[in-house]
Amino acid sequence: MDAETVQLMRVGEELLKYLYLEGAREVRLSFDFGEERSSCLAEAPHFNLGPERLAALRATLKGPRQPELSEYYGALVGKRVDASELALASTMVETELIVSDPERGTRILVSRARPQPQAEKPRRRGLFGRKKGGSSGP
């Protein structure tokens, strides 16, 4: 399992914990691990946050992704049983969707772009025209 997958799973745990702490007792988590982007959907079908908590949640998840925070302090996400770390989790993902109403329940969709592997740099040629850093033989 790579670091990207682990990070998204931790965010999923935080969403699960958030919904549980807010009172939801039926929560479904689903993940989609794509090549370029992975996403996590947390659904609480019969649970309505109400306008005040919904606005607070939207504002919490509104901020930009902050890798300088999440790659260092992200180790704390999904580990605590006594407090929510959703604000920290929000530095690790982009928020795609937040809805909550009495009919549809609550849905939170977050996603995270996978860092694309850097294109291999063309090998420099050595003094005698031979490529550096590799065997020249078959």
Under the criterion CB under 8 A, does residue 64 sit at the interface with other proteins?
A: yes
Stretch of 24-32, 34-42, 79-87, 121-129 lying at the interface with other proteins (CB under 8 A): 79-87
Residue pair 110/40 in contact by the 8 Å Cβ criterion: yes
**What Rg, from alpha-carbon coordinates, does the chain have?**
21
For residue 49, the SS3 value is: coil
Residue 117 or 138 with smaller CB distance to other proteins: 117
Under the criterion CB under 8 A, does residue 66 sit at the interface with other proteins?
A: yes
Under the criterion CB under 8 A, does residue 98 sit at the interface with other proteins?
A: yes
Measure the CA–CA gap between 66 and 77, rounded to whole angstroms: 14
Under the criterion CB under 8 A, does residue 5 sit at the interface with other proteins?
A: no
- Binding track over 7-46 against other proteins, x by CB under 8 A: --------------xx------------------------
Question: Would you state the structure tokens that stand for residue 59, as one six-digit string?
Answer: 């504002």
| Smallest gap from residue 79 Cβ to other proteins (A) | 7
Measure the CA–CA gap between 96 and 113, rounded to whole angstroms: 12
C-alpha closest to that of 16 among 87, 102, 108: 108
Residue pair 65/94 in contact by the 8 Å Cβ criterion: yes
Residues in the site for other proteins, rule: CB under 8 A? 21-22, 52-64, 66-69, 71-73, 75-76, 79-80, 82-88, 91, 95-98, 118
